Amino acid sequence: MKWNVLSSEYLSEHPYFTARKDKCETPEGEIIQEYFVVELPMSVCAVALAESGEVLMVKQYRHPIEETILELPGGFVDKGETPDTAIKRELSEETGYTFSDIKFLAKTAANPGVLNNFTCFYLATGGKKTTKQKLDLNEFLVVENISMQALKTMLLENKIVQSLHANCAFYALRELGLL
């Protein structure tokens, strides 16, 4: 039931924000004159547990919503990189920790009506501080350690506002038998 793309026009081309306008034909022969798609790289995030059992979260200002929020570590998968490699890199860069085990939990699409990317969720355990953070130029984040119960409370009380991170927390807590 895939649509036939008759034409595409790029409106913006940037590694982290590419937008296009497609003209499509449905299997029933209907012509969709304008269907807008935002292209983004695949992304990853993880519930990251230090050896102590504490959850490593990152606190950072998010300009689009004009708020400082607590999130899970993660980011975009670089070109030529697998999601499994990307989550290890992102965890090290954002937290300075290396993990003894990283388990894939799920893959979801945040908004498949507009966005073309997926996000892979992980549970990382056995974290040891091994290096300093290596943040991107636009990253200003602070690592905060919280208890597993605090993560569960944040999830159940809608305190994790980044929806993909809330989903990842759900899958991780379920994997750990806590939900």
pLDDT in tens, 119-160: 999 999 999 999 999 988 888 899 999 999 999 999 999 999
Please compute, for residue 87, the number of CA atoms within 13 A of its CA located in the half-sphere on the CB side: 24
Q: What is the mean pLDDT of residues 102-120?
A: 97
pLDDT in tens, 149-162: 999 999 999 999 99
pLDDT in tens, 35-83: 999 999 999 999 999 999 999 999 999 999 999 999 999 999 999 999 9
Domain 43-175 classified CATH 3.90.79.10?
Answer: yes
- Domain positions in the chain are 4-39, 43-175
Q: Return the pLDDT at 79.
A: 92
pLDDT beyond 90 at 15: no
Query: What is the β-pairing status of strands 119-129 and 43-50?
Result: parallel
Long-range CB contacts (within 8 A, 24+) of 66-72: 67/161, 69/161, 69/162, 70/144, 70/146, 70/154, 70/159, 70/160, 71/45, 71/160, 71/162, 71/165, 72/45, 72/46, 72/47, 72/48, 72/162, 72/165, 72/168, 72/169
Structural tokens at position 87: 């989550």
Q: For the whole model, what pTM was predicted?
A: 0.93
